[in-house]
Structure 1
């Protein structure tokens, strides 16, 4: 069974909800004393029952050996009662393993039937606690075992042999518990790494979606801002010249209709990106290239702009890469759109220079308007150049814009053009 976690990643219910990048492989996290009260699973009931039975059997064997010295009956009865209580504490061994291990180990010095419970608790400490704590409890258990055989000597084996067997047995049980702990650490480590990989994959998907939304937003800004600015210019001409000849009004209305139709067409192509994921061969499918630059300039001239183009790329003998060509087209488009918005009536000079190995340089200059001519009648978001700079940087180039010493507003972009 899995439970959802933030970011759409599924995780097992016993796995802690950790931040990506954090790795916790301590099996102590599974200890009910550190997680709070939890309901035992079927597996826990089986293991706890088995441990309880083993503790009783080992305790009875130890009791039988110790009682060969024939102590008084009250001592024998008290030994059985204390041993039974020690075995009952095993049902809480996961909650307080160290505390119970210390108490039962000390109790087992004089209570022979508590030996089985003491060994189970030592194993539990080795599984759920660090090696230093487990070693300390094991040392206490070995010491209590030596004292026990001083009180209840074995009739068949010498004290030296019993001491050796006691130390060897406790060491084996402790090492076994540490081995189980190491295996649990490995399993938890693999679970944590799987969880981290799932979280990172979810973050990558979310990042890809975010970048795609940003790309589509830039696309809509570049395309629609250009078309709508043309519509505004032609509509403004009709507003200021209501007495214009019928032929001019018809031509302006035709341009408005064609621009609106083209804007809808461009919007339809952009929305198509939302419905079909981009491919690696054409990640920016709706964007035109420098081949459509003459049409862009003609549209601006029809809107009344005075645009001069200096194209020195014809002598380069090669075409720039598609990504570079698309980015260069967007630089010119955004610059012309800004001129229509903020510097209407000024002349614009577009210059394209460069070649393979030297990069592609795009420069758009226009005179700064004076007085009321600089007032923009077309609203803008003020983020066009910011988005354009990001687009150029993603293509590996750089963008500069600002007012020159000659009083011109200059937009200059450099884009890499491999040889």
Structure 2
């Protein structure tokens, strides 16, 4: 069975009714056109029976094209009334089966009509011309069916490619969204955990500190760990989702949140000075990028140069651009390193996504400088 699902079965039944009706009508017209006074009663009975039998074979033709077409060709060998059904059978095979199969089924049809020309000759038509018409007609049916089959195969291939391209676009969008989530996770969790580590370090190395200072450091550790855990849960929940849609997460930070970010580091014991000379309200996307630059700079300072003062500068205006800079002195002695460098790589990609550029390195006066130049349209 070629059709298995309900919709296919309905289409098959509909095609069966239409084809069966066509076979009956064409068979009846053939009977009328071939009827003459010399025709015997037996020949008429055979023609009527062949017409009805051909109509009854239509469901078989639709489900098993080769078998149905061969059965109709046998009927056509003895009755011209079955010729329309036999030609429909050859056309059906040519549209759904390979060309080689259609050719040998067509050859059987040619032989069947050659026999019909002997058994039931057409008055006034020489047998030679009958064979020529027979061969040409079947060749045309096979060519027509092969063309239909090729066009259908081309449509199927085009639809398959379109579905693959659509699936690839969806997969690419999901990969891009997951990459963005990974960058956010690095920025946010790295910042939170570095605060926790700095405060825990203060508790470890200053056990004789005043109780108030110890309590404040312990509070920073508790709050930072709690926030990091909540943010990690949010990220894992999004990554587990089947559909990733941008903008469905919690509100993203902007330039207006920079003072709070700096204050968090101060509470963790880092000496941070913030110099802001921004004229106007920073656009949301631009402000989010500036926030992440400062956040990464503070995280790296705590991780690689703990105990050194950090200077943060944010300046700019519409039409002039926005400059973000985080500087801290290089520590004396060995410096902890982050071999992966994923934070700065992701930060550079983030700056490039808004048309800006990111620079980092050690200056001539021994300062580690992380800076970003971001466009701010007028």
Fold conserved between structures, TM > 0.5: yes
Separation in structure 2 between the aligned mates of residue 93 and residue 261 of structure 1, nearest angstrom: 72
SS at 2:222's partner residue? helix
TM-score, normalising length from structure 2? 0.63
Give 1:205 shift: 6.4
Match of 2:13 among 43, 48, 51: 43
- When the two structures are aligned, how many residues end up with a matched partner? 353
Structure 1 residues 288, 117: CA separation in 2 closer, same or farther (over 3 Å shift)?
closer
Q: Contact 2:328–2:368 at 8 Å: present in 1 too?
A: yes
Give 1:380 shift: 9.8
Separation in structure 2 between the aligned mates of residue 415 and residue 150 of structure 1, nearest angstrom: 91
Separation in structure 1 between the aligned mates of residue 293 and residue 229 of structure 2, nearest angstrom: 19
Give 1:323 shift: 1.5
1:349 and 2:286 matched: no
Aligned partner of 1:410 in structure 2 is 369
Match of 1:221 among 182, 186, 211: 186
Give 1:360 shift: 1.3
SS at 1:43's partner residue? helix
Structure 1 residues 397, 136: CA separation in 2 closer, same or farther (over 3 Å shift)?
farther
Matches within 5 A, 1:29-178: 43=13, 50=20, 54=24, 91=60, 95=64, 97=66, 111-112=78-79, 115=83, 118-125=86-93, 127-128=95-96, 149=117, 152-154=120-122, 157-159=123-125
Matches within 5 A, 1:262-273: 264=226, 268=230
Q: Which runs of 5+ in 1 are unaligned?
A: 1-11, 16-29, 31-38
Separation in structure 2 between the aligned mates of residue 270 and residue 318 of structure 1, nearest angstrom: 34
Structure scoring higher RCO (CA < 8 A, sep ≥ 6) equals 1
TM-score, normalising length from structure 1? 0.58
Give 1:339 shift: 0.9
Structure 1 residues 97, 410: CA separation in 2 closer, same or farther (over 3 Å shift)?
farther
Give 1:335 shift: 0.8
Q: Which runs of 5+ in 2 are unaligned?
A: none
Q: Contact 1:108–1:148 at 8 Å: present in 2 too?
A: no
Q: Contact 1:98–1:125 at 8 Å: present in 2 too?
A: no
Give 1:341 shift: 0.6
Structure 1 residues 214, 134: CA separation in 2 closer, same or farther (over 3 Å shift)?
same
Separation in structure 2 between the aligned mates of residue 66 and residue 97 of structure 1, nearest angstrom: 34
Aligned partner of 1:241 in structure 2 is 206
Q: Contact 1:142–1:167 at 8 Å: present in 2 too?
A: no
CA RMSD of aligned residues (A): 5.9
